[in-house]
Amino acid sequence: MESVQAIKQRFGIIGNDAVLNRAVEKAIQVSPTDISVLVTGESGVGKESIPKIIHQLSHRKHAKYIAVNCGAIPEGTIDSELFGHEKGAFTGATQTRSGYFEVADGGTIFLDEVGELPLATQVRLLRVLENGEFIKVGSSKGQKTDVRIVAATNSNMFDAIRKEKFREDLYYRLSTVEIHLPALRKRKEDIHLLFRKFASDFAVKYKMPTIRLTDDATNLLLKFRWSGNIRQLRNVAEQISVLEQTRTISSDTLRAYLPDSGSNLPAVIKTTKARGDFSNEREILYKVLFDMKNDLNDLKKLTMELMQSGNGHDVQQKNQGLIEKIYGDDDDTIDNELEVLPLTDKRSPEIEVIDNANDKYRFAEVIEEEETLSLHDKELELIKKSLERHNGKRKLAAAELGISERTLYRKIKQYDL
Ligand SMILES: Nc1ncnc2c1ncn2[C@@H]1O[C@H](COP(=O)(O)OP(=O)(O)OP(=O)(O)O)[C@@H](O)[C@H]1O
Ligand SMILES: [Mg+2]
C-alpha cells in the first residue's frame, strides 16, 4: 500500500496537518473496497481529491470515473442525467439515452453536493445503493449496474435531514465511511506552507521572482479566517504574484487582497461566500435557463406566425423587435465599459461534456487534473467555453458570464475569437 506521503505527492496535496493525513489514510484504506464514502468539509478544502484517490487506487481505475455536481443540474433533468431515459419518456426525448450510472458501470461516480439531490432522485439512488438496480426514466424494466459511489457535501446533512430535505436512510447508506477535511483556519501550520507553494508555482508560471511575505504579513495570513479555504488562499497568492511589482509583500499590501478583512477575522462568523472568490454558478445557470425559456417561447411565437402567414418578409417586418431580442443586434459600437469577468479557479466542471461527439452528458466530467490558468487565459477560456456551450449565442454567454453583451463583443474582438 502506498504511503500517505506518496499519495499526497501524487495527487498534489500539500500539508502536514494530522486531520488531513488521517483523511488521506482513510481514502487509501477504503479504496480496495466498494464501501460508499461521504466526504465532508467546508467549501474549498480540497474534497475533490478524495474520490480521485479512491478511484485511482481501486480495481476500478481502468473503468470510468464520472464527477457529477448534483447542485448544478436542474431538478427536471437530474433523473434522466443520472439514470437515462427511454425514447418518448418526455417531450424532447427523441431517443433512448444512457445515464451516468449506466455509463460508469464498473467504475466510480462522484456525487458532489449530494445534499442538493431532489427527494425523488434520492429514492432512485437508494435503490442503486441497496441492490445495484436502477430504472431509466419512462421505463418499467430494472437494469443492473456496478458502480462505486463517493459523495461530497459542504452543507450540514443533519440539518437537511431534520428539515426533511434529505432522507436519513440514504444518508446512512452514503456515509458508511465519512472522510472529513478540516477547514484551513484549523490547519494553522499549513497556511504559510500552502501560500509558499502557490507563490512558487505562480512565480514559475508567470516567470517572475517568487513573492515573499514580511513577518507582519505572515501573521495576518495566519489570523485571517479563510472562509473560502484553500481555493481562496490560492486565488490571493495568484493575484498578488501577478499584480504586485515589489516581491516583498507587507501586511498592508496583503490586506488589500483579503476581501472584507474585518468580518473575515476569526472572531466573526461569516456564512455568506465572498463574491469574486467563487461566483454563484447555480444562480447563473438558473438565469441562463430562464433566458433560454423566454427565447424558446419567442421562437415558438415566430414559428407559429411563419406557419400561419407563409410570408417570411412580413413576419420579419412585424417582429423586428422580437428578432433582435432573440438573435441579438449586431451593434458594432464599442463603449468603454470597464467590466471584468468574475474570475474563479473553478472551471465549472458540472457543465463540462464527457462525450463531445454527442453532447449528451452535459453535467459531468471525466477525471482530469485541474490546471491553473493565468488571469488572461482564464478569461479567454471562460469566454470560449461559454460561447461553445451556447453555440456562439452571445446573449446567453454574456448572461452566464455576468457581463453585458457589448462587453462580451468587445472581448471577442480583443481576443480575436
Ligand atoms: N491540500 C491541498 N494542496 C494543494 N492544493 C489544494 C489542496 N486542497 C485543495 N487544493 C486546491 O484548492 C482548490 C479547491 O479544492 P476543491 O475544488 O477540491 O474544493 P472542494 O472542497 O471540493 O470545495 P467545494 O465544496 O466548493 O466544491 C483546488 O484548486 C485544489 O486543487
Ligand atoms: Mg467541490
Determine the distance separating the centroid of ligand 2 and the alpha carbon of 195, expressed in angstroms.
20
CB atoms within 10 A of CB 380: 18
Ligand positioned closest to the Cα atom of 42: 1
Whether the CB of 99 sits within 6 Å of ligand 1? no
Round to whole Å and give the CA distance between 187 and 357.
Answer: 44
Q: Which atom of ligand 1 is nearest to the CA of 154?
A: 25
Whether the CB of 349 sits within 6 Å of ligand 1? no
Helix, strand, coil fractions of the chain, as percent rounded to 5: 50, 10, 40
**Where do we find the cell 423566454?**
294
Note the maximum CA span of the chain.
76
- Identify which of 115, 121, 152 has the alpha carbon closest to the alpha carbon of residue 37: 152
- Identify which of 162, 153, 158 has the alpha carbon closest to the alpha carbon of residue 180: 153
Model pLDDT, residue 348: 34
Choice from 8, 48, 155, 344 to test ligand 1 binding pocket (greatest atom count within 8 A of CB):
48
- Identify which of 324, 294, 292, 300 has the alpha carbon closest to the alpha carbon of residue 316: 324
- Identify which of 261, 263, 271, 275 has the alpha carbon closest to the alpha carbon of residue 221: 261
Atom 20, ligand 1: residue with shortest CA distance: 44
Give CA 116 to chain center in angstroms.
14
Atom 30, ligand 1: residue with shortest CA distance: 46
- Identify which of 116, 121, 207, 201 has the alpha carbon closest to the alpha carbon of residue 165: 116
Q: Report the DSSP pairing between strands 133-135 and 84-85.
A: unpaired
H or E stretch at 160: helix 157-162
Determine the distance separating the centroid of ligand 1 and the alpha carbon of 21, expressed in angstroms.
15
Whether the CB of 24 sits within 6 Å of ligand 1? no
Choice from 231, 232, 279, 344 to test ligand 1 binding pocket (greatest atom count within 8 A of CB):
231
Q: Which atom of ligand 1 is nearest to the CA of 8?
A: 1
Whether the CB of 15 sits within 6 Å of ligand 1? yes
User: Residues 66, 110: contact at Cβ < 8 Å?
Assistant: yes
Single-letter residue type at 44: G
Which cell goes with 70?
448534483
User: Residues 157, 163: contact at Cβ < 8 Å?
Assistant: no
User: Residues 109, 68: contact at Cβ < 8 Å?
Assistant: yes
Total-model pTM: 0.68
Choice from 43, 49, 189 to test ligand 1 binding pocket (greatest atom count within 8 A of CB):
49
Whether the CB of 47 sits within 6 Å of ligand 1? yes
Cα distances from 206 to residues 44, 241, 244, 246, 392, in angstroms, run: 24, 8, 12, 15, 31
Atom 26, ligand 1: residue with shortest CA distance: 43
Q: Which ranges of the chain have pLDDT less than 50? A: 262-263, 265-280, 329-360, 368-373
Q: Which chain residues have CB less than 5 Å from ligand 2, an ion?
A: 48
Grouping H, G, I as helix, E, B as strand and the rest as coil, residue 4 is helix
Whether the CB of 44 sits within 6 Å of ligand 1? yes
- The DSSP letter of residue 137 is B
- Identify which of 188, 184, 153 has the alpha carbon closest to the alpha carbon of residue 171: 153
Grouping H, G, I as helix, E, B as strand and the rest as coil, residue 149 is strand
DSSP 170-211: HHHHHTSEEEE---GGG-HHHHHHHHHHHHHHHHHHHTSPPP
- Identify which of 412, 405, 391, 390 has the alpha carbon closest to the alpha carbon of residue 325: 405
Determine the distance separating the centroid of ligand 1 and the alpha carbon of 311, expressed in angstroms.
57
Model pLDDT, residue 351: 29
CB atoms within 10 A of CB 20: 22
Whether the CB of 183 sits within 6 Å of ligand 1? no
Can you state the angle between helices 229-243 and 188-206, rounded to 10 degrees?
40
Backbone angles phi, psi at 248, to 5 degrees: -100, 120
Grouping H, G, I as helix, E, B as strand and the rest as coil, residue 134 is strand
CB atoms within 10 A of CB 294: 12
Determine the distance separating the centroid of ligand 2 and the alpha carbon of 239, expressed in angstroms.
21
User: Residues 108, 122: contact at Cβ < 8 Å?
Assistant: no
User: Residues 237, 247: contact at Cβ < 8 Å?
Assistant: no
Which cell goes with 282?
447555480
Whether the CB of 42 sits within 6 Å of ligand 1? no
Round to whole Å and give the CA distance between 183 and 46.
Answer: 10
- Identify which of 43, 53, 42, 45 has the alpha carbon closest to the alpha carbon of residue 15: 45
- The DSSP letter of residue 38 is E
Ligand positioned closest to the Cα atom of 346: 1
Model pLDDT, residue 371: 41
Round to whole Å and give the CA distance between 237 and 195.
Answer: 6
